[in-house]
Amino acid sequence: MAGSSFCFFLLLLLSISALASARTQFVDRSVLAQQKADRVVKLPGQPPVNFRQYSGYVTVNETNGRALFYWFFEATDKPEEKPLLLWLNGGPGCSSVGYGEAEELGPFLMQKGLPELRHNKYSWNRAANLLFLETPVGVGYSYTNTTKDLSELGDEATAHDSYRFIVGWLERFPQFKSREFYIAGESYAGHYVPRLAEKIFDLNKRVPPSKNINFKGFIIGNALLDDDTDQNGMIDYAWDHALISDSVYHDIQKYCDFSSAEDNSTCDRLLNEYYSVYDIIDMYSLYTPSCPSSGYSRSRKKIHGISPKVLSRHAGWHKKPAGYDPCISYQTEEYLNRPDVQEALHANVTKIKYPWTHCSDAIETWNDAPASMLPVLKKLIDGGIRVWVFSGDTDGRIPVTGTRYTLNKLGLPINRDWNPWYTYHEQVGGFTIEYEGLTFVTVRGAGHQVPTFAPRQALQMIKSFLDNTKLPKSPFDTWT
């Protein structure tokens, strides 16, 4: 009798195990089918690679039909062991695919003079599984079926949809759910990244543990963080780099109040004179040439409501950045508007009525943009989140001068003061200062888009950030 009971119990356990296995297999097959649908086999003009890539859409609001476009690359080596890194470009309204992937740190960069791709040997997927997101809706291939969504955008709406994207993406790629998750970005991502980080940080405390995102830290470069110090830093940097006269510099200090949104005709005249130098020199990279005539326009539509309050009233503040090859952006736009490229990327499935552009003309209003992100940074630092800030030191748009003023306002204790760090070739890569809870890194000779201008240094920096190790403090440290 006892033997019969035991056999029955054993059969019951086996049946339950088989049912669970079948259910798991069903879920796995469903997930794999979604992943297979997003798999990018090969893009037109793409060089051969040994890693997998995926792209497509994650719906973030079914009622309104909002969906965000992503492009994902597994790490080049041991992707099952590498962290997951999300990259965001700023604007607001500029594409992480067009800038981040195709012109900065992605595995495929645009060929000079050809509508084809070349392999980037300094791609950040050498350090992590790399995810690019076009956010908010209206940017790049991301879309909404509800027109009014485009008039309701702002920092909070962007963070909300980006969070929904991450949750949805991890459901589609559950093999990455337990990985350490980091966020990186530049420029107006100085708002995007901390706001998204704060949302993850707060919601991780409220959702069930099974829904937690394994978020560890973020790194932001040439980042818009504080209106007053960022703007004062722009003017000081221009004078210090011999771009404006003493009289213009002192008159701006006298007549311009960067904390005010009120009209001031004298200040406006002076700022127009300040901006005029950037008609002949690239604001985003002082020492690289401008593109003489490519058909690619650097101007973009003004977005009302974004900070800063004074400088953003001028057209010069709204120029699009360009890379080390200042004409390459024209080729990027040509490539990403090709029907065969869009088909290979599973992009533009709704046939958006406007062409793909680096920075969206569909976004005209921005509804919330805090004057300072420092309270958010302080909150996350106190919460144990790893925070790095970096700055290319030849950028006049959000210059290293302004970022240093900004970080000084945090009032953090200094653990290790200003020191050089070294590249693998034993050259000075830049300088670094370690605060209590925050590391600041300069990248020598780099413009606004640091990975474009200093790819080797940028890859070394992101590896150190992800590994939570210090950058080499002497040439000899780079040998090991």
Return the number of other C-beta atoms located less than 10 Å from residue 281's C-beta. 17
CB 227 within 8 A of CB 372: yes
Q: Rounded CA gap, 405 and 389, in Å?
A: 13
Single out the residue of 142, 129, 119, 6 nearest to residue 64, CA to CA: 142
Q: Rounded CA gap, 333 and 75, in Å?
A: 26
Q: Which pair of tokens denotes residue 179?
A: 């990985």
Pairing label, strands 84-88, 129-134: parallel
Q: Which pair of tokens denotes residue 441?
A: 């890194």
Q: Rounded CA gap, 30 and 23, in Å?
A: 11
Burial class (CB within 10 angstroms; exposed 0-12, middle 13-18, buried 19+) of 10: exposed
Specify the length of the chain in residues: 480
Q: Rounded CA gap, 32 and 377, in Å?
A: 38
Q: Rounded CA gap, 47 and 339, in Å?
A: 19
CB 185 within 8 A of CB 215: no
Pairing label, strands 84-88, 181-186: parallel
Q: How far is CA 168 from CA 61, 184, 461, in A?
A: 11, 19, 29
Catalytic residues: 187, 395, 448
